[in-house]
Amino acid sequence: MDRTFVFEILCALLAADGRQESLFGERTPAVGEAFARSLVGAGFPELWFELPLAGEPWLDLHALVSHDDARAAADAAGTRRLAFANLSDAYDRALAWFASQDARDVRQLALSFDTSAGDVDTPAVQLLVSRPDSSVAAGFLEAAGQGGLAEAHRAFTGRMPAGWFACYEGCFPRRHAAEKSAWVRVECIVGDAAQSAYAAGEGALRDDLARLGMAGLPDDAYATVSRLARSPFPLELQFDVGEGGRPLPRLSASVRFQPDDWAQPARRAEIARLAGWVEGMGLSDARWRDLAGCAFAKRLAHGDAAVTLSCLPAFVKLRWRAGLPADAKAYLLARIETEGA
């Protein structure tokens, strides 16, 4: 089954019932082009749709290649170069490195396209790991052309609180060029014990962020993260780490939802309370109410082939920049699974 055709069906399902206008805004050719450039081998990447919860609607696309698919594509390529379509050699080097790694260490390689800005040439590239290993992170950064950030990453993760897990690191060449500086993004799952401590009060959170070198946050940022920690959903914190392993003055905090959270009325009510609180802070408008329509699973048959298309609103993320609350965003996780694969 043609992968572009299937992707268009997925987008149509997401856009149904007025959601194109409320959640995604004008559909640009960059979205389809980004999908086409992310394809590796014969499989479908895992897809994430990023969208704001206030202001003008827009859409950025993230495509995540699994290690199994990358390894299979490398085996099929043989002596030919393993490559993305119409992206620079830097991305191909990261892909080849990823395919050569041990599956026990790495899970996915992500391309994050700023499709809202029409950019399909310089996506961010991110490594999602299965277990913490600074040598794997260093190898990825070297392959992605940012080997100079390996020590910063090592220093930052070495100061992380007990129980935190740095689940991915990423390079953002387009933003590095705009800011005239280099940094590595680190996403951290804080773990149950730390989340409980942050939920109990702001003190433990302040202490842990101070040890990491995160300074300049307003008091309401600590209170907001503490409120997120009190929700029944897992908490993650995201940092942009610069020289010396010190985070830049910006922080993101998110909570993650699972399929049961949308299937069970009590859990959906918890999501609604959380989203209503974000709206009350002025970081969201009423569009969050349309997110529930993006939770679906559909079977698509065409000729002798069939796939399952599924989507789940998986994250709500709040951001602070230079000590000020910036915005709130949602992330939709979509999968296309071939029957019999």
pLDDT tens, residue by residue, 184-200: 999 999 999 999 999 99
User: Which pLDDT does position 341 carry in this prediction?
Assistant: 60
The mean pLDDT of 302-318, rounded to a whole number, is 94
The amino acid that residue 319 corresponds to is R
Tokens of 44: 């479908």
pTM (2 decimals)? 0.96
| Own/partner long-range contacts of 153-156 (Cβ < 8 Å, ≥24 apart) | 153/184, 153/186, 153/241, 153/245, 154/245, 155/244, 155/245, 156/186, 156/212, 156/239, 156/241, 156/245, 156/246, 156/247
User: pLDDT tier at 302 (50, 70, 90 boundaries)?
Assistant: confident
What's the N-to-C CA distance of the chain in angstroms? 13
Query: Which one, of 335, 256, 258, 248, lies nearest residue 300 by Cα?
Result: 335
Report the C-alpha gap between 153 and 238 in whole angstroms: 13
Q: How far, in Å, are 115, 173, 182, 248 from residue 124 at the CA level?
A: 12, 6, 12, 18
pLDDT at 228: 98
Identify the pLDDT of residue 216: 76
239-273 per-position pLDDT tens digit: 999 999 999 999 999 999 999 999 999 999 999 99
Q: What are phi and psi of 15, to 5 degrees?
A: -85, -5
Q: What is the mean pLDDT of residues 115-142?
A: 94
What is the residue-averaged pLDDT of the chain? Answer: 95
**Is residue 14 classed exposed, middle or buried when 0-12, 13-18 and 19+ CB atoms within 10 A define those classes?**
buried
